[in-house]
Structure 1
Amino acid sequence: MTANAMRVLVCDEPGRLTATTRPRPEDKPGHLRVQIAAIGICGTDYHIYGGNQPYLAYPRVMGHELSARAMADSTDGRIRRGDLVVVNPYLTCGTCNACSIGKPNCCENIAVLGVHTDGGMCEEIVVPEGNLYPANDLTPKAAAMVEFLAIGAHGVRRSALAEATSALIVGAGPIGVGAALFASIAGARVVLRDTSANRLALAKAIVPSATTELVSEAQPAVYETVFDATGNIDAMNAGLKWLAHGGSYVLLSLVKGDLKFADPEFHKRETTLFASRNALKADFEHVMDCMARGLVPVEAIGTHRTTLEGAVEDLPKWAADRGTVVKALIEL
């Protein structure tokens, strides 16, 4: 391998991964070069591998849950060479309506690393300085978990969940577990529901204060806030029945399909409906603060690990058996 080449994992097409080399990225004004330390494998990555992600073209370097080491000082002095950083993977335009009102998480022209543009399953990337947050005393493993946990934290913050109120999270995958964790930290009485006993058992180890239960049609609508994290349009359409009158329904999932609610059911509850997309800097900072305070069980969340080359075989296995995986990481 030449000095200008780096290792990279490429999804060439659905169902095909290749560990290869590519030229190192070029420097850009206002950007900082970072050396990748750890990469969380996300449901989006599994969807890309499976050919079920609508927003990208192949071949694609995946990876948007990233921790990295700065390879130079930032121009504003926040980051020094060698510092561990958390990468915010949402590249935004800064000029659209969403960006102008402080909501770059839903920028009209957003490009997410690893989805709309090549991501971090490689040795180095070049990222806008403003998208890098000092990780302080976090480990590389913990720092690579911040982004996915921030999605759940953002949904909880967006819902204005009140202390001592009831919250139902439907879907015990990583995003649902993150939402359950931060709803619990906010002081809610949390119930985490799924169709898989294995996923619920894993979730209980991470959020021991939550009540876990298998989905049943007989369960009543008694929850003041319901979060959907299933990634299933049928479940999203059905979740309203578990919402108490006067409650809020928060959709963390993003899937193909149409939302369809019976208007009398939606209307009689005076339902507040929230879509929750990505996360904001404040959510990243909240997650990092909770990690620093020992409120996030990093070791229980990080259930699997591999290398960049090992992911060629491991990622397909985990994609086929996600009931035993909370968060898998590639460590460099």
Structure 2
Amino acid sequence: MKAILLKSPGHFERIDIDEPAAPGPGEAVVRVHRVGICGTDLSGYLGKMPFFSYPRIPGHELGVEVVAVGSGVTNVKPGDRCAVEPYMNCGTCHACKKGSTNCCANLKVLGVMTDGGLRDRFVLPARKLHVSTKLSFEQLALVETLAIGCHAVNRSALTAGENCLVIGAGPIGLSSIVFAKLTGAKVIVLDVNAQRLAFCKEKMGVDETIVLNDKVVDDLRRVTDGALPDVVIDATGHNGSMSNAFGYIAPTGRLVYVGITTKEVTFIHPIFHRPEGTLLCSRNALPADFTRIIGLIETGKIDTTPWVTHRTKFEDMTEVFESYTKPETGVIKAVVEV
């Protein structure tokens, strides 16, 4: 059976692996149809993702078809099309008992700490499958990306009428924009890439965009009537951006880190103390986020049409993948057709 292995940073290999075993109790065998490429995959390729282990079969944004199920499985059946919740949690640790399965002490994320979906078929717990009778495999592969933004906005407690700044217009920033807009907040996007900001304005319908400059605070005051943003969501994973973000919030504002860096983040304490700021981190997503997102796409409240800018066949992925790390490629979201 074919698979793609990231043997070490920057080094893919096409490999042959064994067929998956028959599903055990509570398990399902799935056939992979589409795999989304996101910042985690790019960071893993570049050796910058702190949770990534090598060698690894990547792929955690998945649109799959159920092939077989084990005993006791009632939520899916062969032939079902599903999005995959790729966070393999233990169910017994403190976080899991609290319902915070995204923060499981023994968490293994598909394609990051355990092998993922860049292969024909594999076995996983059936409870991690979220069915849709309407969505395409490509749409289903976008659900996990959207779930990251959904959870980040939920963490922020953003409400209608507030100002929300999203820093970073990559896929995770875009998913945060989607859910910030759904709250009725005013959405501002900050990025270094004017092309991506144009995409946010034209395709995503954001209220304001700002190209990174040395007068960002002045620009933010201008578009928020002097108040600064009530919520700042940093989706860059860049320690410099994450450090600067402490100075962007309004009084009683909330700063949410959804991007991850391996480097030190620093700030001058009075900058964040003065407005009585709150710092939050957002990790992964929850099962309810997947259910909600599938429903929102099915009912047309989320339009996934603009998202996928690049598609590649499984056989060509290793040759084109490096181009996805380069901003000049213009990639918003790439999808692999398995």
TM-score, length basis structure 2: 0.93
| Residues 54-101 of structure 1, C-alpha deviations (whole Å, 9 max, x = no match) | 333322100000110001246342212101011110001111111111
Match of 1:81 in 2: 78
Distance 1:295 1:263 in 2: 40
The one-letter code matched in structure 2 to 1:256 is T
What is residue 259 of structure 1 aligned with on the other side?
A: 265
Deviation of the 1:323 alpha carbon = 5.8
Which amino acid is the alignment partner of residue 332 of structure 2?
Answer: V
Residues 117-157 of structure 1 show CA distances to partners (whole Å, capped at 9, x for unaligned) of 11000110111011111122111000000001100010101
What corresponds to 1:317 in structure 2?
Answer: 323
Partner residue, 2:158? 161
Q: Tell me the equivalent position of 1:39.
A: 35
1:229 has 2:251 as partner: no
Matches within 5 A, 1:180-329: 180-220=177-217, 222-321=228-327, 324-329=330-335
Q: Give distance in 2, aligned partners of 1:191 and 1:30.
A: 44
Distance 1:256 1:322, change over 3 A: farther
What is aligned with 2:97?
Answer: 100
User: Which residue matches 1:10?
Assistant: 5
Asked whether the 8 Å contact 1:184–1:210 carries over to 2, the reply is no
Answer whether contact 1:180 1:210 (CA < 8 A) is retained. Answer: no
Name which of 50, 57, 65 aligns with 2:53: 57
Unaligned runs of 5+ in 2: 222-227
Match of 2:225 in 1: none
Q: Do the aligned partners of residues 41 and 246 (structure 1) sit closer, same or farther apart at CA in structure 2, a change above 3 Å counting? A: same
Aligned to 2:149: 152
- 1:93 and 1:316 map into 2 onto residues whose CA distance is 34
| Percent of aligned pairs with the same amino acid | 36
Q: SS in structure 1 opposite 2:320?
A: helix
Asked if the contact 1:196–1:323 (Cα under 8 Å) also holds between the matched residues in 2, the reply is no
Aligned-CA RMSD value:
1.5
8 Å CA contact 2:255–2:277 kept in 1: the answer is yes
Query: How far, CA to CA, are the matches of 1:277 and 1:49 in structure 2?
Result: 20
Cα pair 2:75 2:126 within 8 Å, conserved: no
- Which TM-score applies when normalising by structure 1? 0.94
- AA aligned opposite 2:289: D
Unaligned runs of 5+ in 1: 1-5
Q: CA deviation at 1:322?
A: 6.4
CA 1:25/1:205 → structure 2, altered by over 3 Å: closer, same or farther? Answer: farther
Structure 2: distance between partners of 1:268 and 1:152: 28
AA aligned opposite 1:20: I
